[in-house]
Amino acid sequence: SQELEQSPQSLIVQEGKNLTINCTSSKTLYGLYWYKQKYGEGLIFLMMLQKGGEEKSHEKITAKLDEKKQQSSLHITASQPSHAGIYLCGAGYYGNNRLAFGKGNQVVVIP
């Protein structure tokens, strides 16, 4: 079974609107990483969250990690075409040294 579930799988938003995507882990993690990927390209690091209840913002993107460290959300304010792409969450777990990834959230921004 998938350790990380991302929802919704895909969404289409009108330019200027806000959007939120979610990442849920089946177990407590030590670190949650958000990446953005253009089709067929590498992963661009957005943010890393480690503490329960932590919230970080960069430009128009805000990411939060819940107190139990099992769920994260990524919120984009006033979306722009440059926000289109696939958003991947990756989690590090205690006891191993790999990142587990969800399948991604595909975001399309229409004018």
Partner 1 sequence: ETGVTQSPTHLIKTRGQQVTLRCSSQSGHNTVSWYQQALGQGPQFIFQYYREEENGRGNFPPRFSGLQFPNYSSELNVNALELDDSALYLCASSRPGVGYGYTFGSGTRLTVV
Phi, psi of 45 (to 5 degrees): -70, 130
Q: Which residues contact 37 (CB under 8 A, 6 or more apart)?
A: 43, 44, 85, 86, 87, 88, 104
The answer to the question of residue 48 lying near partner 1 (CB under 8 A) is: yes
Type of residue numbered 33: Y
Type of residue numbered 99: L
The answer to the question of residue 85 lying near partner 1 (CB under 8 A) is: no
Minimum CB distance to partner 1, residue 98 (Å): 4
The answer to the question of residue 111 lying near partner 1 (CB under 8 A) is: no
The answer to the question of residue 101 lying near partner 1 (CB under 8 A) is: yes
Interface positions with partner 1 (CB under 8 A) = 4, 30-31, 33, 35, 40-45, 48, 50, 88, 90, 92, 96-104
